Amino acid sequence: MTDSELYEQILSLPPNLKKEALEFIASLQLRTNLKPKERQFGCAKGLIEIKPDFDEPLEDFREYM
């Protein structure tokens, strides 16, 4: 569909549907302009702690080892 065909279709709509079409177009434009936030390097620093015994076998599995 060309731009002129789209324009003709919009012109043929009654005023209340033209308003709905305008709102729909605005919502489409909003959706396409959203960009994911850039990640900040080091933003989780200090939130994760690895225990010294991290690599030790779990007590629950001692009998299988």
> Quick one: which of 39, 37, 38, 13 has its CA closest to 24?
13
Percentage above 90 pLDDT, the chain: 38
Q: Provide the residue type at 11 as one letter.
A: L
pLDDT in tens, 4-53: 999 999 999 999 999 999 999 999 888 887 777 788 898 888 898 898 98
- Around 15, how many Cα atoms within 13 Å sit in the side-chain half-sphere? 0
